Amino acid sequence: MPPMMDQGRGLPSAPRHAPQQRPQQGYYGDYEQPAPAGSRISEGSLPAGYYQGQRSASGGQYPPNQYMPQGRRQYPNAGGPMPPRMESRGVPPQAAGARHQGQRMYQIPHGAALNTDPYRSQSLASTSRPQMFPQSPHAYQQSPANQSRQAPYSHQYSARTTAQGRVVPERHEDRSMSMTGPFHMQDRDAHQTMSGRVIPNRRTPSDLQTANGYMPLAGSYAIASTSQARTTSMVSSTSTYEHSRTLSIASSIAPTVTPSESDSTTLVQRPSRSKSIESERPQTATKIRPPLVYPALLSRVAECFRQKIYVGDRTKNELTYKNAFSGSEAVDVLSYIIRTTDRNLALLLGRALDAQKFFHDVTYEHRLRDSQSEMYQFRETLIDEPEDKSPVNGVFVLLSECYSPTCTREQLCYSIACPRRLEQVSRLNLKINPGLRKDDATNLHDDEADQTDEQKLWINSVPKEVADAVGEREKKRQEVISEICYTERDFVKDLEYLRDFWILPLRSKQSPIPPQRREKVVKTIFSNIIDHPSIHTVSSRFASSLTTRQQKDPIVNNIGDIFLEYVPQFEPFIWYGSKQLEGKFGFENERSVNSHFASFVDEIERKRESRKLELNGYLTKPTTRLARYPLLLENVLKYTEDDSQDKADIPKVLTMIRDLLGRVNAESGKAENRFNLRRLHEQLRFKPNERVDLRLTEEGRELVFKSQFKKSPTDPAEITAFLFDHAVLLVRIKQKGKTEEITAYRRPIPLELLAIREMDEVIPLQGSIKRSSSSLIPSIRTTTSDTKKGEGWPITFRHLGKAGYEQTLYASNQAARKKWLQFIDNAQQRLRARADFFNTTTMSSNFFGGTNQVNCVTPFGKIIATYDSDDVLLTTTDGGRKLLYGTDNGIYVSDRKVKEQIPRRVLETPSVTQIDILEEYQLLLVLSNKTLQSYALSALNPDEPALGKRPKKIQNHCSFFKTGICLGRHLVCCVKSTALSTTIKVFEPNDAMTKAKKQKGLGKFISSGHDELRPFKEFYIPTESTSVHFLKSVLCVACARGFEVVSLQTLETQSLLDQADTSLDFVARREGVRPIHIERLNGEFLLNYSEFSFFVNRNGWRARPEWRIDWEGAPQSFALSYPFILAFEPNFIELRNIENGTVHIVPHKSIRMLHSSTHEVV
């Protein structure tokens, strides 16, 4: 009894051995599929029809002997191709007992009734068709579908089908999204998608490798290169008996993988084996790379696409578009997502996303194109949308699976349109006719231009005699001129459409906008389209002049003079560009809050006059129209003869228009920046007690960059980082209902206080120069370019200062991290360039260090002594060109004018912590090992004898000393301070020292026996003191209790701050704050503490109540260089403008203030 035919299958059953169980596949077919060595299934391997074998009486079918499973013939070279089977055959004879056509059981679904099937009736009214079984002297013998062969089949003449078996319609229309259309024989080589949609030739993928001379089939898996080409795009239905649901081949598309990809699923070529082993076991396909998401669900594809696509500033027609991407980049990403090398299939998937307004052309003129010059933007509204509103939702049927849960490759479902049934047909290379086509006249193209454009061509608008009278070069020139003219008229018509269907109805009494805000809303949305300065007025006059020039003569000699007349009047375009973003926001906001306005918008956009273009598409036309002039004029100039007036006029016009475009870009960029900053300022929320005024609405503030990071490589939550021109802000963005909540994640980091650990690693500087900001972070083991993906791409933000912190975030890839660090580095460099208020000079480098640290520095001048005729000593200096260094090993001196000269030691005294010079008394005061000593200034002379270099001790156990003038006297305060008390001794230089300077010989020698410093006053403060400051008649001591004022006449002590002033309570409430420095300015006193600074008057009351500085760091010393107050801490110098409080920070490493004066700080 012959085997019965399985009605649920389209293949004849045949005796066969039980195959090995196939490994369990992944969600998208992630398994290794064995295939016979060198096997290849090609679209051209079988004829258009298929062979209906002999049938049994019950409807079954006996396959011929050649269709029965055959044992593999061993050839000497297993890797080589098998010899072709030479067999010719005609129409298959019907076996005895075969049923007639009316009784024939359904075998394989066919598309049209006229398929090449010997068992189908055929209409006599049909046109001629090819022979059903073409004879060929080299025709290859067929074998069953479950048998793979190595015959080099050709597929170039077979019907093209998708990977699922869907027949590609023979259409060759450009830019068409319709499934119907005419057939043009002249376009046989146009690119087609796997579904039949035809995409015009744009660029040929250069990275597709051929195998044995054949290009890879669209939709096939990428297989590692071996000696024989293999195809694993389909799994044979005879490979397993399991009835579990399997996936359609539509979800298993894989691209060719280059060796540079570092993905865990990269295809790896197996090492070659010996021929004997290779002949015994079949070659296996490499691992199939599944799509990133299920490609049939547009919502998942859209979400993945938004994550993978890189957006940025793109330029088209000399206009800059923010957050844009090119068409070719979009197709690249879609091909990567669905793992296909068929760019047309990826383009078709992208157009499905485009159809749902997921993204749009920046000019709203056409659908997605696989072009590097076409730019697109995501559809992003400027107002908060409902949380449950999904931008994309749908099924892309070409890549979908069968919907039946019981459908498998072994037991197909009931549907004749089942993707697996079509896949089965594809495996058999059966041809299904595409069915009936619509008439050419009824064909419509979704993104095609107006059908009357053909009539607008110059060659169709002039008599044939005129067109024949000019050469080809002039024809092209006239066509471009004609395009300028009729597109300008179209532009004016678009403006009039806005006027008649939008602006005037919205201003009428029947307007859906309430009267109290009607005019404001209309002006915000439509700006100066018809209002002064009106774009419509200028463009209508311009179009009228161009039309008049056309009507004078069918051959237009020149148009440059018209442009020279009207381009200077294009200033309204600049004004419109600066208001365009506000208009978009006003439109979206009114549409969201006003339901009547939303209904009005929907009604107008459905009208025939709108040409199925939404309002935003019309609102962008003024700026895009201005950007098209250079492109059109360059084409006119290209075909213009040298003796034409346009040869001189058009370059001038191009310069003027490009200048206008530059101004439009600048003004629109500023407007967008202001708008985004204002929106962020309104939405930003801080945690309790962490409120910081970022001054986002200040004039000149700029949002430089914005990107997303993750707390860890596997954390799905995102941290959004904003880079401003002055700070970095990390926020979390959460959607709550219809509103978007932006909360500061960490305290904002001023750019001057920002240090990036990975900066020098990712963006190394040339030479030995290092960034001071990144050098503040301790060195750790840095990552390299071999960082594993699992570790992510970290960026470590460090906030310097007392409120600092360290936060590590992870970028999505290495390119994103590098771009972010480049933006930060450029912003910091610009900021420091603006804060370059001081001239910096390096006096000594790499000399002091290790065990010989510099503790103090003071400048001094070389003393030049002369005597006049009355024997009076006259002293002069050389301007203080020398520097005196107090170090751990002694006192060194250097000449600041001779930078090549290294410092030399002049006094060998250890542990010098403070030095000062009293030039009037020729004294050098040195604090060494907490002992105050004095030297004659001549001891610095290297020729001075050793006796002249002996010091005199003044005070033991001295913590520090200070020199100054008080009560008209030169005084030296020697401070002995402990944690509980402070004793201050005040010394005065001996007047005999000044007299000795004017004496010569023996008189000078006798006076040297007097003490250089004599005691003047001594007082006690019951707390620790840190500094002493000289005022006109009192001393001000900075101690733990604050600033204490001491009268040198009565030795009375009182607090500088008046406790009756309640505005000073913040000082008393703050614990741990230390007073450090005081400066007198215009009758007021600037008090500098370790955390803040403020002004008081001479009575101790708060002056300038609104003025206060809160230091970013923890300063240890201060210096005044009006109008700046400088605060020094080990990691940076903080500069504050006293007049306006602006801050500038200069990062450094281990920095200390050693000396300050009115003209320099060391």
Render pLDDT for 953-976 as a digit per residue (tens, 0 to 9): 888 889 999 998 888 888 999 999
Name 709's bridge partners. Answer: 719
d(CA 869, CA 884): 34
Together in a domain, 723 and 576: no
Q: Which residues of 283-318 are buried (b: 16+ CB within 10 A; e: fewer)?
A: bbbbbbbbbbbbbbbbbbbbebbbeebebeebebbb
- Residue 279's pLDDT band (cuts 50, 70, 90): very low
- Residue 323's pLDDT band (cuts 50, 70, 90): confident
Together in a domain, 639 and 538: yes
pLDDT at 860: 78
Q: Which of 344, 371, 395 is the last residue of a domain?
A: 395
Do 783 and 791 meet the contact criterion of CB atoms below 8 Å apart?
yes
Angle subtended by helix axes 646-683 and 571-593, to nearest 10? 30
Task: Name every residue whose Cβ is closer than 8 Å to that of residue 895 and which is 6 or more positions away in sequence.
Answer: 881, 882, 901
Q: Which residues of 567-595 are buried (b: 16+ CB within 10 A; e: fewer)?
A: beebebbbbbbbbbbbbbbbbbbbbbebe
Residue 1074: inside a domain = yes
pLDDT at 316: 84
**pLDDT, mean over the chain:** 72
Q: Which of 782, 804, 833 is the last residue of a domain?
A: 833
d(CA 777, CA 807): 13
pLDDT at 384: 53
- Residue 246's pLDDT band (cuts 50, 70, 90): very low
359-402 per-position pLDDT tens digit: 988 888 888 999 998 999 888 765 555 544 557 888 888 888 88
Together in a domain, 490 and 364: no
Count of C-beta atoms within a 10 Å radius of residue 839: 6
Counting residues of the chain whose pLDDT is more than 90, the rounded percentage is 19
24-51 per-position pLDDT tens digit: 443 444 433 344 434 333 333 333 333 3
Together in a domain, 524 and 639: yes
pLDDT at 134: 44
Count of C-beta atoms within a 10 Å radius of residue 1080: 14
829-855 per-position pLDDT tens digit: 888 777 666 677 777 777 787 788 888
> What single-letter amino acid sits at 1047?
S
> What single-letter amino acid sits at 498?
L
Q: Which of 833, 865, 882 is the last residue of a domain?
A: 833
736 three-state secondary structure: strand
Q: What CATH number corresponds to the domain at position 565?
A: 1.20.900.10
- pLDDT at position 494 over 90: yes
* Alpha carbon separation from 342 to 199, 223, 345, 795 (Å, rounded): 12, 15, 5, 37
Counting residues of the chain whose pLDDT is more than 70, the rounded percentage is 65
d(CA 1083, CA 1129): 28
Do 916 and 934 meet the contact criterion of CB atoms below 8 Å apart?
no
Angle subtended by helix axes 571-593 and 621-638, to nearest 10? 140
- pLDDT at position 437 over 90: no
Count how many Cα atoms sit within 13 Å of the Cα of residue 49 in the half-sphere of its side chain.
20
Q: What CATH number corresponds to the domain at position 1102?
A: 2.40.10.480
What secondary structure, in 3-state letters, does 114-176 show?
Answer: CCCCCCCCCCCCCCCCCCCCCCCCCCECCCCCCCCCCCCCCCCCCCCECCCCCECCCCCCCCC
Sheet strands side by side (includes 923-928): 912-918, 923-928, 931-936, 952-955
740 three-state secondary structure: strand
- Residue 872's pLDDT band (cuts 50, 70, 90): very low
From 1038, 918, 893, select the one nearest 977 (Cα to Cα): 1038
Question: Could you tell me the two tokens for 630?
Answer: 């250079």
825: part of which helix (H) or strand (E)? helix 814-834
Residue 499: inside a domain = yes
Task: Name every residue whose Cβ is closer than 8 Å to that of residue 339 and which is 6 or more positions away in sequence.
Answer: 252, 253, 254, 255, 289, 290, 291, 292
d(CA 932, CA 1090): 28
Do 1010 and 1039 meet the contact criterion of CB atoms below 8 Å apart?
no
Checking DSSP bridges between strand 739-744 and strand 684-685, what pairing results, if any? parallel
Together in a domain, 726 and 642: no
Task: Name every residue whose Cβ is closer than 8 Å to that of residue 648 and which is 6 or more positions away in sequence.
Answer: 560
- pLDDT at position 6 over 80: no
Together in a domain, 525 and 622: yes
Residue 548: inside a domain = yes
Q: How many domains does the chain have?
A: 4
- pLDDT at position 636 over 90: yes
Do 303 and 716 meet the contact criterion of CB atoms below 8 Å apart?
no
Together in a domain, 672 and 697: no
d(CA 204, CA 199): 12
Count how many Cα atoms sit within 13 Å of the Cα of residue 983 in the half-sphere of its side chain.
7
Sheet strands side by side (includes 1034-1039): 1025-1030, 1034-1039, 1042-1047, 1053-1055
From 223, 209, 283, 211, select the one nearest 253 (Cα to Cα): 223
Checking DSSP bridges between strand 912-918 and strand 923-928, what pairing results, if any? antiparallel
As to burial, measured by CB atoms within 10 angstroms (0-12 exposed, 13-18 middle, 19+ buried), residue 452 is: exposed
Lowest-confidence segment of 182-186, 434-438, 635-639, 1155-1159 by average pLDDT: 182-186
Peptide bond into 622 cis (omega under 30): no
* Alpha carbon separation from 206 to 220, 233, 550, 1108 (Å, rounded): 17, 22, 45, 65
pLDDT at 880: 61
Task: Report the sign of the C-alpha dihedral through residues 1145, 1151, 1155, 1161, in that order.
Answer: negative
Residue 223: inside a domain = no
Count of C-beta atoms within a 10 Å radius of residue 159: 17
d(CA 883, CA 467): 89
Residue 863: inside a domain = no
Together in a domain, 374 and 520: no
Residue 1102: inside a domain = yes
**Residues spanned by the domain of 317:** 298-380+391-395
Residue 385: inside a domain = no
Residue 564: inside a domain = yes
d(CA 130, CA 122): 13
Together in a domain, 475 and 568: yes
Together in a domain, 671 and 581: yes
Together in a domain, 706 and 658: no
pLDDT at 1010: 56
Lowest-confidence segment of 449-453, 477-481, 487-491, 887-891 by average pLDDT: 449-453
Question: Could you tell me the two tokens for 1030?
Answer: 């000289």
Name 1045's bridge partners. Answer: 1036, 1054
Question: Could you tell me the two tokens for 263?
Answer: 């993905």
Q: What CATH number corresponds to the domain at position 743?
A: 2.30.29.30
pLDDT at 412: 81
pLDDT at 61: 45
Q: What CATH number corresponds to the domain at position 305?
A: 1.10.10.10
Together in a domain, 658 and 758: no
d(CA 1126, CA 1118): 6
Lowest-confidence segment of 769-778, 835-844, 896-905 by average pLDDT: 769-778
